[in-house]
């Protein structure tokens, strides 16, 4: 074939490549048609002539490189979506699910799972089979990376059915509807939470999957199969607002760290309870669990009251990372506010163990009672006073319409 004919054929192939948005699949097809693994200098020149771009063209992607790069390409959005879909498809084929995913990646996983199960995408998030399979895939990927059980066989593999996930999927839908009915989304707006995925209801694992998976990885002697069965159990999942689900990682880290075992863990549970959240601390050796927060049945009205208090009082301060109001305490806050203190702290627990046998029962109780118990936000003097005022006005058929303002006049000393 003449050189001119080759150039005309290349122009035709590369024109189609550009028309399809230069996505990875189109690049692969174009290179195959051109009989190469990379775009040659000639191909790059043709792309420049066809697009009018002056920057050098990447031999790999077919996009301009240099100062403008891919970010300023007119095809950036479609290119990124295509890359994301291709990446997720590849990871699913290999049996991997990332530890943490953003909304686009999560949507791609739901899409791929619904395709594998023959469920239309519009119905996917309301389908217990699809959503249950996504959760089981997450668990398998965390505990058995690369096992890659076929999507349609996940339920049989792990001993669950789609119906087992029905209540949690319905619960998530009910939560989103209640948030809309109660005007909770307006509070979410005021908190500056705008990402659609963060605002939505989610399926929250009360047993933090990745924390437990890391423990199992560090100790091969643990019963991995039994632990995964507990993590996968839909009875230990609950509908939660996604941004709170993400924000409770500080609490999970605090509760699971053995060095904080002598802190006011019940007080931490009170925060979860007020926020209508749940975390279960699973001992991977004994498989015993301790539940903190609500046991079951999220109350959307209480959730609304919690978010109103967070907006008004800012109990956990402002996030250094985002500059927004923190909706849950981070690990640093918990260290500072739920730390051991008093005489016992000054002596130290190791020293106490040594001298405990020499103390009388009365003295030992006094000493152990001096540990700082932390603060229970919902029963602080201010909140209790506010509740008494509300109850009093309620009896009079009235409601409290003014906000709490700290007096500028110093009280008695």
Look up residue 68 and give its DSSP letter.
S
Instruction: Give the per-residue pLDDT at 393.
Output: 75
Residue 38 in contact with residue 60, Cβ under 8 Å? yes
- Is residue 95 classed as helix, strand or coil in its secondary structure? coil
- Tell me how far apart the alpha carbons of residues 288 and 213 are, in angstroms, rounded to a whole number: 16
Give the C-alpha separation, 164 to 166, whole Å: 6
Using CA atoms, how far residue 241 sits from 131, 171, 172, 281, in Å, is 16, 11, 9, 20
Distance set, CA 330 to CA 153, 195, 391, 400 (Å): 39, 21, 33, 32
User: Which pLDDT score, from 0 to 100, does residue 5 have?
Assistant: 55
pLDDT of residue 248: 92
Q: Helix, strand or coil for residue 97?
A: coil
pLDDT of residue 346: 37
Sole residue written with tokens 């890391």: 214
Would you state the pLDDT for residue 99? 67
So what's the pLDDT on residue 402?
63
- Classify the C-alpha dihedral 173-106-199-325 as positive or negative: positive
In this prediction, residue 69 carries a pLDDT of 43
Q: Do the Cβ atoms of 316 and 310 come closer than 8 Å?
A: yes
Beta strands, E only, 166-313: 201-205, 237-241, 278-282, 289-293
Let me know if 205 is exposed, middle or buried by CB neighbors in 10 A (0-12, 13-18, 19+).
buried
How high is the pLDDT of residue 81? 63
* pLDDT at residue 154 in the model: 95
pLDDT of 329 reads 93
- Cα→Cα distances 218→210, 212, 215, 408, Å: 12, 10, 5, 55
Q: Are 117 and 93 in contact (CB under 8 A)?
A: no
List per-residue pLDDT tens for the chain, 413 residues long: 444 555 788 888 998 888 888 888 888 899 999 999 999 999 999 988 888 888 888 888 888 886 444 444 445 555 566 666 666 667 767 767 766 666 677 888 888 899 999 999 889 999 999 999 999 999 998 999 888 899 999 999 999 999 999 999 999 999 999 999 999 999 999 999 988 778 888 898 999 998 899 899 888 889 999 999 999 999 999 999 999 998 999 999 999 988 887 777 888 889 999 999 999 999 888 989 999 999 878 899 999 999 999 999 999 999 888 889 999 999 888 888 875 543 343 344 445 455 555 556 655 555 444 443 444 555 555 666 677 777 777 777 777 666 655 655 655 54
**For position 392, what pLDDT does the model report?**
73
| Close Cβ partners of 327 (under 8 Å, ≥ 6 residues apart) | 191, 243, 244, 247, 275, 307, 310, 316
Q: What is the pLDDT of residue 281?
A: 92
Neighbours of 21 (CB within 10 A): 17
Pairing of strands 237-241, 278-282: unpaired
Contact 210, 142 (CB under 8 A): yes
């Amino acid at each position: 074939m003449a050189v001119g004919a080759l150039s005309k054929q290349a122009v035709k192939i590369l024109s189609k490549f550009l028309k399809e948005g230069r996505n990875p699949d189109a690049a692969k097809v174009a290179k195959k048609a051109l009989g190469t693994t990379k775009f040659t200098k000639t191909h790059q020149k043709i792309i420049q002539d066809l697009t009018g771009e002056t920057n050098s063209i990447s031999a790999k992607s077919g996009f301009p490189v240099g100062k403008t790069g891919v970010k300023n390409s007119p095809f950036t959005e479609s290119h990124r979506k295509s890359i994301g879909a291709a990446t997720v498809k590849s990871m699913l084929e290999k049996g991997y699910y990332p530890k943490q995913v953003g909304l686009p990646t999560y949507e791609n996983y739901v899409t791929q799972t619904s395709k594998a199960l023959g469920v239309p995408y519009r119905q996917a998030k309301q389908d217990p089979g699809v959503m249950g399979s996504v959760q089981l895939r997450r668990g398998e990927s965390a505990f058995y990376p690369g096992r890659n059980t076929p999507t349609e066989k996940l339920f049989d593999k792990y001993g669950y059915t789609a119906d087992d996930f029905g209540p949690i999927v319905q619960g998530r839908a009910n939560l989103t509807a209640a948030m809309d009915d109660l005007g909770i989304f307006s509070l979410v707006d005021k908190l500056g939470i705008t990402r659609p995925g963060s605002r939505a209801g989610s399926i929250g694992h009360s047993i933090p999957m990745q924390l437990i998976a890391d423990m199992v990885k560090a100790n091969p002697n643990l019963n991995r199969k039994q632990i995964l069965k507990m993590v996968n159990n839909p009875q230990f999942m609950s509908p939660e607002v996604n941004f709170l689900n993400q924000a409770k990682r500080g609490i999970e880290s605090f509760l699971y760290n053995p060095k904080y075992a002598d802190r006011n863990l019940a007080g931490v549970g009170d925060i979860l309870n007020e926020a209508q959240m749940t975390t279960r601390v699973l001992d991977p050796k004994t498989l015993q669990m301790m539940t903190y927060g609500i046991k079951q049945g999220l109350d959307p009205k209480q959730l609304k009251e919690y978010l109103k208090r967070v907006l008004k009082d800012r109990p956990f301060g402002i996030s250094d990372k985002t500059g927004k109001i923190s909706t849950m305490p981070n690990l640093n806050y918990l260290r500072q506010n739920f730390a051991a203190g008093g005489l016992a702290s000054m002596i130290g627990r190791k020293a106490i163990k040594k001298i405990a046998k020499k103390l009388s029962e009365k003295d030992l109780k006094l000493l152990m009672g001096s540990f700082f118990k932390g603060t229970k936000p919902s029963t602080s003097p201010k909140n209790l006073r506010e509740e008494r005022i509300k109850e009093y006005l309620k009896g009079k058929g009235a409601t409290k319409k003014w906000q709490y303002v700290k007096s500028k006049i110093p009280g008695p000393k």
